[in-house]
Every structure is written in C-alpha cells, then in structure tokens.
Amino acid sequence: MVGSSHEALHRIFQKDPALLTRALQRVLHVPFPEPHEIAALNVDLTEIEPVERRVDTLLRAETDEGTYLLVVESQGKVDDRKRGSWPYYLSYLYEKYRCEPVLIVITQNSATARWAAQPIRLGFPGWHSLTVRPLVLGPDNVPVITDERQAEQDVPLAVLSAMTHGRGPQAAPILESLATALKTIDPDSAAVFVQFVDSCLADPQAKQMWRDLMTAIQYFWRHPLAEQVREEGREQGWIQAKAETVLQVLEWRGIPVPDDVRERVTACTDRNKVEVWAQRAVHAADAADLFTEE
C-alpha cells in the first residue's frame, strides 16, 4: 500500500503538468521542447487481468518537435523489481500510443535517487538489447527555494522544493518562503498544494512547523469559512474548512464527487475523520474511496 507522500510527489504534476517540463529544462538541463498542450492519460497498463501494472502519473506532451509521453514514478526506496517494470512500462506505452516515452523518477531520498539514475541494461553484456536511462528529480538537484520572491515567481516549483527537501536542515526557510508565496495564488490551488506538502513532511518537527504556519495565515484564509472560524469557534471552523479541502482536492484531480459524498463530508463534525479523508483524497481513485474500511 502506497503512502500519501508517494502519491503527493507525483500528483503535483497532475495539478500543474507544466511544472514537469520546467523541471526537465531547469533542474535536469534536458533540452525538452516547450509543450503547447499537456494532457493526463490513463495510468493503467494492465494487459492480463490477474497482472496489474500501473504507472504513477502519465502525461502526454504535444510539442512542435513531436508528441511525448511523460511517465512519472514516485520512488520511496530502492526496489530492484523496477528493473523489470520500468522497461515494460516504456515498451508497452510506445506500442500503445506510438509516442516516445520519457521516464522521470522523483524521490525524497538521495540514495534512492542515485540508485534510480543508474541505467537499466537488459541483454548480453556489451550488446544490450534494451537500455533504460531514467531522469531523476531528488534532493541533490531540485533547487532549495528559501527566497520569498523566488517562491512567488514559481509557486509549484517552490512546492516541489518543500516536498523534496522537507526532511533536510533547510526545511524551515523553505516552508516559510512557501507559506508567504501561497498567499499570492488562488485559495483553491493553495489548499491543494498545502495538502501535498503536508503529506510529504515525514519529519515531525517540520510537519508541525508547516501546520503552525498554515494555522497562522489560515490557508483557507480567503474562504468564507474563515469568518466562521472566528465567530463560531476555531475547532468547528477548522473541521469544516478541512472538509472543503477534501472536496477541492478531489475536484482538482478530476474525480467526480456525487451529492451523497459531498453531503457526508460537509456534514462531518469529527476532526480525526476529516483528517483521514484529507489524506485519502490525495490518492483516491474514486470519491467513495474516502470511506474505505468505515
């Protein structure tokens, strides 16, 4: 079962697909052509019913130089099974779409990044039938953004910086600059980014700092519920704002929210329950998945 940080690390590119090509160009210095259209594709690569294969995020980028498939894999630790699954993904996608696939791996761990960057060579030594060279985004190359102005210029990249470096010693200035930058974008997008960052902060001190920052500026600051927090009490207002965030995350991810799900979420008065729903909303495949095991 994947963790919420796993989901957030790749789903930020679903929220802002152009961030991925900017990362290729600016971080990895790959001369990827400027796309004029990017679309999300079905991530399911299953061919035979008992064998399920699914990439994390799959985007189609239309450029003047051709169409590319951007395959994003979130990797938490070394997993040598990927030596078989990653080449399979690329071969299958090329056969299905007849577009050039590009594998991008994102991780919060430097050792995992070094492992993932190693070429995968299949076949006879010295005469390999297939070679896969992943492009890797990790702590060693994603920029550390601690300047407020720089964060405001590219908020999604600042979010990626916080998600990638949230465990490091520079977490505090990164989170502080991002908190300020979030005030400059629309509140719905900010709420989604806040959830992504919160999901990726494994360090308890960094997570608490982030939540304190968000409480101080009320990341639902421009939401009508902010007034309700002040008038009816911080606890109930927080719960209702969190419930709205759950629905916003689902809607931003393009997942339909039936009326019965919306009513159940907005009517909830249990703080722990909406916390669980908020975490599940980041990786749920269907709105009903919020209520798994309930």
| Confidence class for position 226, pLDDT limits 50, 70, 90 | very low
Please give the model's pTM, rounded to 2 decimal places: 0.66
> Which pair of tokens denotes residue 52?
């399920």
Any idea what DSSP says for residue 145? -
State residue 134's pLDDT score.
95
- If phi > 0 it is left, if psi is from -120 to 50 it is alpha, else beta; for residue 98 that is left
Residue 224's pLDDT is: 46
In a 3-state reduction of DSSP, which class is residue 118? Answer: coil
Cα 46–chain centre separation: 23
Q: What is the mean pLDDT of the chain?
A: 82
pLDDT > 50? residue 102: yes
Q: Cα(289)–Cα(196) distance, rounded to whole angstroms?
A: 18
pLDDT in tens, 115-155: 999 999 998 888 888 999 999 999 999 999 999 999 999 99
Q: Which residues pair with 44 in a beta bridge?
A: 54
Q: What is the pLDDT of residue 217?
A: 67
Do 45 and 53 touch, CB atoms closer than 8 A? Answer: yes
Contact 9, 106 (CB under 8 A): yes
* Local confidence band at 232 (pLDDT 50, 70, 90 cut-offs): very low
